């Protein structure tokens, strides 16, 4: 059963500006070490960062909370063996999902030259 849906879009240039201005603080606030390593290894690191930023916001929306209710680093976007993105939750985000009966969050990421977007679908057992 679908428990929540979230979608977000972000300008890649906005993420690039923030990263260049506050690199260390920006990284430490928003991305796990694994996410940062992945993004900075890519040919288009800011597009990868923007896609993960959008994904984290989409997950927050799917969980039914706004920015600030759970930490950015409590949501991690990783990749499975063949490239499919995967959501991992930690701390308050994981606890919130469990209380809501959410057992899986499906995520899709996309980007073009100017924008990155993500859609998250929270899935769980029947009932409320």
CA–CA distance, 68 with 126 (Å, rounded to integer) = 28
Query: Cβ distance 48 to 39 under 8 Å?
Result: yes
The H or E element that residue 54 is part of is: helix 45-63
| Cα dihedral sign, 34-37-41-45 | positive
Q: Is 57 annotated as a binding residue?
A: yes
Binding site as annotated, residues for Mg(2+): 8, 57
Q: Summarize the annotated binding site as residue ranges.
A: 8, 57
């Amino acid at each position: 059963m679908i428990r929540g849906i979230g979608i977000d879009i972000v300008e890649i240039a906005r993420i690039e500006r923030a990263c260049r201005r506050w690199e260390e603080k920006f990284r430490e606030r928003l991305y796990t070490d694994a996410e940062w390593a992945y993004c900075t290894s890519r040919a288009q690191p800011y597009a990868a960062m923007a896609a993960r930023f959008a994904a984290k916001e989409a997950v927050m929306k799917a969980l039914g909370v706004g920015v600030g209710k759970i930490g950015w680093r409590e949501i991690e976007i990783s990749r499975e063996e063949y490239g499919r993105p995967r959501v991992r939750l930690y701390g308050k985000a994981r606890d919130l999902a469990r209380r809501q009966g959410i057992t899986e969050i499906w995520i899709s990421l996309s980007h073009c030259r100017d924008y990155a977007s993500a859609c998250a679908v929270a899935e769980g057992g029947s009932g409320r």
